[in-house]
Amino acid sequence: LILHSSPLPLYCCKTVRKMKCRINPGNNENCFVPISEIIAVEETEFNKKQRNIGRWQKMAKLHAFTVHYVKKARNHRWRCSAATFWCVDEHLCNQWTQALKELLEMQKSRPKQLLVYINPFGGKRQGKRIYEQKVAPLFSLASISTDVVVTEHANHAKDNLFEVNIYKYDGVVCVGGDGMFSEVMHGLIGRMQKDSGIDQNNPKASLVQCNIRIGIIPAGSTDCICYSTVGISDPVTSALHIIVGDCQPLDVSSVHHNDTFLKYSVSLLGYGFYGDILKDSEKKRWMGPMRYDYSGFKTFLSHHYYEGTIAYQPAKHTHGSPRDKVSCRTGCYICKQSEKQLAEQNKEHGLKKEEGEEEWKVIKGKFLAINAVNMSCACPRSPKGLSPAAHLADGSADLILVRKCSRFDFLRYLVRHTNQDDQFDFPFVDVYRVKCFQFTSKLSEDNESNVMDVGKKRFGQFCRDHPACCCNIVNSTWNCDGETLDSSAIEVRVHCQLMKLFARGIEEDCKDEAGHSQSSIEQLL
Ligand SMILES: CCCCCCCCCCCCC/C=C/[C@@H](O)[C@H](CO)NC(=O)CCCCCCCCCCCCCCC
Ligand SMILES: Nc1ncnc2c1ncn2[C@@H]1O[C@H](COP(=O)(O)OP(=O)(O)OP(=O)(O)O)[C@@H](O)[C@H]1O
Ligand SMILES: [Ca+2]
């Protein structure tokens, strides 16, 4: 559909000459709108007083319809814009309205019925207001019907997803932050496994994909999953991605301790620095999003490092590498190829055999941070994220090991998350693309071999209370997408494209943060 602003005629499939159009009065521009980005088409009561329509004013009755469509602004922001078309011929007007409505009906990936969970206490506690004022009117314009649940306690959404008839919905929307998303994801993936008789406690189980898409309306403190999959953390943009029925597959890591399922993760699994920030920040929830800066500063000063062993299997199925600077963008070639490659491998060998055959690499050391990310983890604090070239759906995670270094060097490393310099270009930082890994802390290794004595335990406690000492006797905790894990010894496996979001990945627009405009494939070549 090609819309020309007044006073030019509207063209569609070369037929219409007799209709006039106005796009957002005062905005004299041409625009091309794919049908897939039309939000709604409405018959319009034409108000002559509001518009200066020159000679048309003399005519008795005008007929009009309005096309609401997605307008793309800077920095991946989407807005709802409108163009009103009018003419004297009622039949012509009805034909247009009907034809456009039929075209919209043919957009089969669009949701018609959604289940919405709102966390009223996430982020700055604006979830309910954001949904009611910014999102609900758009859903209603797009004729999407909703069942809305305002959560009353943590795990309300997750538990509810095990009870409701999820199959009658085209998607589940969560209004909140990464923690709220995590709840909904656990509810949906858990429910799928339960309904398919899959035991989540088996770390080697082939999990059943979840085809019910999740939409995220960002109203949290970090909103890293929304930012990394849409390119911006903006409720209206996310609502529009849901309305047009976008679909972005996402890798999910399962986390186990021995043969017990702990959690799934899609963004950050962090031990050391990010685990300690989270643990400290939980006590400061009343501070809102600021709590992370406060605890971040405190944790930076404490400068604790932790001893442990990591064993991982490299992700050989994927063409990418964490340092190739090939960003994951809409329709990512690397994600598509990796998915194909994995499917072929699994068909040929069977998952168990293939994993058992491949070698494990083992690294022992003292670490300030161990981060495993399934996606870039870009967020407003760090627009390029913890691993800028990580892929959303390639069946791998980037394992970042930050070894013991000086406070000054660690600060240099952190600062590079906020500028264009390469944060992996330090002798104390290593990064690997992996499909699974295991971690055991020195403390639990010692525990298992019974060499830890009471004195050591006490010494650990003593050192924690003295920030100047960087002693590593105590364990850190794992930060799993913003929630703490009970166990420090974990076994992690990436499940390629286990779930889907109402998103399309970050679009390759005119310019990214670095000022580059090449496509991923061009970069690869
Ligand atoms: C000098 C400035 C350096 C700034 C460096 C910024 C790096 C920020 C990287 C953010 C990565 C977020 C990863 C996403 C994790 C989410 O699954 C999770 C749940 O929402 N969020 C957090 O755990 C919340 C994590 C929040 C992390 C905040 C880190 C703040 C660090 C502040 C260090 C200050 C040092 C100042 C020394 C003078
Ligand atoms: N009604 C509720 N009362 C208390 N806690 C809730 C309620 N609803 C959800 N929660 C819990 O609140 C936690 C945090 O919520 P959410 O992720 O929305 O915000 P946040 O922590 O501020 O943001 P982020 O996760 O982006 O850092 C979630 O883990 C969720 O389980
Ligand atoms: Ca990935």
Domain boundaries, the chain: 2-105, 108-246, 254-494
Residues paired with 125 in a beta bridge: none
The H or E element containing residue 514 is none
Bond preceding residue 7 cis, omega within 30 of 0: yes
Ligand 1 pocket residue status of 224, Cβ below 6 Å = yes
pTM of the model: 0.89
Ligand 1 geometric centre to CA of 217 (Å): 21
Distance CA 191, CA 165 (A): 10
In 3D space, the residue among 255, 276, 230 whose CA is nearest the CA of residue 501 turns out to be 230
3-state secondary structure of 4: strand
Q: Just list the catalytic residues.
A: 178
Residue 131's alpha-carbon distances to 139, 224, 429, 455, in angstroms, are: 10, 19, 41, 54
Distance CA 107, CA 243 (A): 11
Ligand 3 geometric centre to CA of 320 (Å): 10
> Are 21 and 54 spatial neighbours (Cβ–Cβ below 8 Å)?
no
Best residue among 116, 117, 121 to mutate for probing ligand 2's pocket (most ligand atoms within 8 Å of CB) is 121
Residue 398's alpha-carbon distances to 270, 312, 437, in angstroms, are: 12, 11, 11
Distance CA 122, CA 72 (A): 28
Residues paired with 499 in a beta bridge: 250
Distance CA 171, CA 111 (A): 7
Q: Which two tokens stand for residue 318?
A: 């994927």
Tell me which residue has its CA closest to atom 31 in ligand 1. Answer: 296
Ligand 1 pocket residue status of 480, Cβ below 6 Å = no
Q: Which two tokens stand for residue 68?
A: 């609401």
Radius of gyration in angstroms for the set of CA atoms belonging to the chain, rounded to a whole number? 26
Q: Is residue 257 exposed (0-12), middle (13-18) or buried (19+ Cβ within 10 Å)? A: middle
Residues paired with 379 in a beta bridge: 382
Q: Which ligand is nearest to the CA of 371?
A: 1
**What confidence score (pLDDT) does residue 147 get?**
98
Query: Is domain 108-246 in CATH 3.40.50.10330, yes or no?
Result: yes
- For this complex, say whether ipTM is above 0.85: yes
**What confidence score (pLDDT) does residue 59 get?**
52
3-state secondary structure of 21: strand
**What confidence score (pLDDT) does residue 122 get?**
86
Residue type at position 133: Q
3-state secondary structure of 23: strand
Give the side-chain half-sphere CA count within 13 A for 26: 1
Distance CA 514, CA 517 (A): 9
Q: Which two tokens stand for residue 469?
A: 């000492």
Ligand 2 geometric centre to CA of 314 (Å): 34
Query: Is domain 254-494 in CATH 2.60.200.40, yes or no?
Result: yes
Ligand 3 geometric centre to CA of 492 (Å): 13
**What confidence score (pLDDT) does residue 77 get?**
97
**What confidence score (pLDDT) does residue 217 get?**
98
DSSP characters over 168-213 = G-SEEEEEE-HHHHHHHHHHHHHHHHHHTT--TT-TT--PPP--SE
Ligand 1 pocket residue status of 279, Cβ below 6 Å = no
Q: Give the Cβ contact number of residue 208 at 10 Å.
A: 16
- Alpha-carbon dihedral sign for residues 12, 17, 18, 23: positive
Give the side-chain half-sphere CA count within 13 A for 352: 5
Best residue among 265, 299, 381 to mutate for probing ligand 1's pocket (most ligand atoms within 8 Å of CB) is 381
Distance CA 480, CA 267 (A): 8
Atom of ligand 2 nearest to the CA of 481: 25
Q: Which ligand is nearest to the CA of 496?
A: 3
Orientation angle between helical segments 273-282 and 290-302, nearest 10 degrees: 130
Q: Which ligand is nearest to the CA of 435?
A: 3
**What confidence score (pLDDT) does residue 226 get?**
98
Q: Is residue 91 exposed (0-12), middle (13-18) or buried (19+ Cβ within 10 Å)? A: exposed
Pairing of strands 171-176, 213-218: parallel
Helices vs. strands in the chain: H and E counts, helices first: 15, 20
Max Cα distance, the chain (Å): 95
3-state secondary structure of 344: helix
Q: Report, at the CATH architecture level, how domain 2-105 is classified.
A: Roll (2.30)
For ligand 2, which residues put their CB under 6 angstroms from it? 119-123, 151-156, 176-180, 183, 220-223, 482
- The per-residue pLDDT string of the chain (525 residues; one tens digit each, 9 = 90 and over) reads 554 443 334 433 323 345 565 555 445 567 788 999 999 999 998 765 555 555 555 555 788 999 999 999 999 999 999 999 988 888 999 999 999 999 999 999 999 999 999 999 988 899 999 999 999 999 999 999 999 999 999 999 999 999 999 999 999 999 999 999 999 999 999 999 999 999 999 999 999 999 999 999 999 998 999 999 999 999 999 999 999 999 999 999 999 999 999 999 999 999 999 999 999 999 998 898 999 999 999 999 999 999 999 999 999 998 889 999 899 999 999 999 988 888 887 777 655 555 556 789 999 999 999 999 999 999 999 999 999 999 999 999 999 999 999 999 999 999 999 999 999 999 999 999 999 999 999 887 777 654 344 434 433 443 444 445 555 568 899 999 999 998 999 999 999 999 999 999 999 865 444 434 333 323 332
Q: Which residue has the tokens 């037929």?
A: 15
**Residues whose CB falls within 8 Å of the CB of residue 441, separated by 6 or more in sequence, listed in order:** 306, 307, 308, 475, 476, 488, 489
Q: What is the DSSP letter of 454?
A: H
